[in-house]
Structure 1
């Protein structure tokens, strides 16, 4: 329950202040028993798809993907320079980047989601 509360309160498994990852304080098999007790196929499928990431301590911090960190705002193939270019663009057009997601396409194309 503590993990679920932290996850929902931070909208991810990273602390909203400090940007470090947290993992459940119970063994993976115990958490899995709770998930399977729901008998909900969608919940079990999501668990199967994400359990490795839930219990993996890496990446430990939020930050630039090309420095081995993770982010929910930019695709993992974006460099620091790409991100700074997008931030400057957003500032120029008065777009709040915090409510946006950016993805790098083929070549130098970038997509706002």
Structure 2
């Protein structure tokens, strides 16, 4: 009986907790709540800063910029450049440049 109640409780937690998605804007408390509620997650990290939706991988630590903490700014920027989203963005750009080199040159010169 107790095992059944515990299992039902775990299922209720899993159902009521939305998954962590790339690009979510969460408070630290909400991030940690979701992270601990879903034990299957292999990798997730809370980035304290701003993520560009136009240029994936461009992450800026706003507090570091405002306080002049360049080490923090560079660390967050490096995390973004090492992200899977940035790698995919670079691959798409590389393919575009190979397929349409004239178009890319025209855009750069204007």
TM-score, length-normalised on structure 1? 0.31
